[in-house]
Amino acid sequence: MKQRKLGRNGPSVSEIGLGCMGMVGWYGTGDDAESMRTIHRAIELGNLLDTAEMYGPYTNEELVGRAIADRRDKVFLCTKFGIVREPGAKAVKYDGSVANVNRSIEGSLKRLGVDHVDLYYLHRVDPTTPIEDTVGAMAALVKAGKVRYIGLSEASAETIKRAYAVYPIAAVQSEYSLFSRDLEETGVIAMLRELGVSLVSYSPLGRGLLSGDIRSPKDLEPTDVRHNHPRWQGENFQKNLDVVDRVKAIADDMGATPSQVALAWVLAQGDDIVTIPGTKRVARLEENIKAADIKLAPAQLASIEAAAPKGAASGNRYGDMSAVNR
């Protein structure tokens, strides 16, 4: 797979990576054996894997650690800290304190079975801790050899600028897709390009909605967290499905799937963007990876824009948006 640089002088990574969150029950029942096969196939096709301390919590890092144990040198490994969620608890808190930076990295290294993480993100900005303090502690991890590069997730343009003044940020991970384009309006993408920071687009398929395969919320398992997301509820769902069907018509004309077109659109927004669609199935991974071979012509991009214009999604992407773009 083709690779893209993270930051102006950073490492090269697969332009399409693998988000591992859904492997531990967020989107229904997990299957560790199939998830392991999916991770192994992702490493054969690329190198970028993404996990986080709070996925599970903890169990996703453990799964990824088992999967990469005999192939660590082939992986660009990303994990995140800063959302504290105890096992069995629904509530979370945000902790970017220096103490939590140091506590979290030790736990992640142990669960992943590695001596360093390639890219370490602050998962959400802690409003009670100055970003300068958090990033300073993360920079110390780089100096100590426990982390190679640092990043932020769902940070505002101003926070990114303040963080970068302390230590160069390689990447910012935020939701970005045909359904979620607020980064274009909030100045985040403009700030990233001013500083030379890459965007890592998560949920590029609108948590699966843009695949076109889910025709009703009833298709989801009862424990699936998407039941709690506004875009999957009531009239919002049907309105969003109407947009998906317009994208599918374009994909059909191209001999592609809606997922592939949606991913190709994200990649077409700039060479400084990589994306990490999540899946726990090999077949879906292979479908997603083929999007890297699609180069959208100007006329195709215009058709996609008309089918799914900015603001086309109905409903917020989260029920509680208070921790987004601080």
- Residue 203 contacts residue 175 (beta carbons within 8 Å): yes
Among residues 27, 55, 120, 149, which one is catalytic? 55
3-state class (DSSP) for residue 112: helix
Does residue 55 carry a catalytic annotation?
Answer: yes
Nearest residue to 76 via CA among 13, 28, 155: 13
Q: How far apart are CA 55 and CA 265, in angstroms?
A: 28
Nearest residue to 100 via CA among 74, 120, 70: 120
Nearest residue to 17 via CA among 270, 205, 200: 200
Q: How far apart are CA 262 and CA 270, in angstroms?
A: 14
Nearest residue to 178 via CA among 92, 50, 268: 268
β strands within 40-170, DSSP E: 48-50, 76-81, 83-84, 93-94, 117-122, 147-153
3-state class (DSSP) for residue 252: helix
Which residues belong to the active site? 55
